[in-house]
Amino acid sequence: MKILIVEDEIELSESIVSYLKSEGYLCEYALTYDSAIDKISLYAYDIILVDLNLPDGNGIQIIRKLKESDFKGGIIITSARETLDDRISGLNSGADDYLIKPFHLAELNARIKSLTRRVLFKGGNTITLNEIKIKPDAHEVYIKGKLMDLTRKEFDLLLFLVTNKDRVLSKESIAEHLWGDYIDSADSFDFVYAHIKNLRKKLTNKGVGKYLQTVYGVGYKFIEN
């Protein structure tokens, strides 16, 4: 699960990133409007936290740009503005939730989990695809009712593939989603192939390897049938 935190208070940004990383999320942050726009134009995110007051722009404008780009993830406003008009304006702009500062990081995590279930997992706590059942909160995968042994990256890769089933995902998009913008310094994407190979082998050993397909010269996709 990849999250972008748009927040101009660097200590708060770093605190949120540190906490969410300890909860297993891949996190990045943007301190300015321009930086946020650059990131959302270059990278894909599952959840975006947006502060309304930024030194060079307005968080509402970011939300509107996300909606114009047909962003499919979840948006949570984090703001010190607490009037009813501010909350209504923020939600009407396209945000999914509104969290008033100051807030407890545990509450933020709960809001993220709730939004993830609602937006990405269609309201459920599990994702089921034929013989495969994924429990994102527990980081568990079951094949035909039996728990599957996966590394953290293999779990994240499978979750990314399944939540984007029937879509071709390039090696670049997989690398960027799992490792963030740190991947810009990578010399190649051979490690993506290695993770795909390992995941496919484990799926094949469980009798469900047919779902993970290679689209030669393009990338990979997970099919339902």
Query: Which tens digits make up the pLDDT trace of 23-61?
Result: 878 889 999 999 999 999 888 888 999 999 898 888 999
Q: Check: pTM over 0.75? Answer yes or no.
A: no
Contacts of 27 (CB under 8 A, 6+ apart): 2, 3, 4, 5, 16, 17, 20, 21, 180
Same domain, 79 and 176: no
Q: Could you list the residue range(s) of the whole structural domain that residue 106 is in? A: 2-120
3-state secondary structure 3-15: EEEECCCHHHHHH
Strands 2-6 and 26-30: parallel
136 and 153 co-located in one domain: yes
- Into how many domains does the chain fold? 2
Task: Give the pLDDT confidence score for residue 108 in this predicted structure.
Answer: 93
Strand partners, 47: 3, 74
Residues 110 and 183 in one domain: no
38 and 115 inside one domain: yes
Predicted pLDDT at 105: 93
Same domain, 58 and 136: no
pLDDT of residue 85: 87
pLDDT along the chain (225 residues), means of 10: 91 92 87 93 89 90 89 89 85 91 92 82 75 87 92 89 86 80 61 90 91 90 84
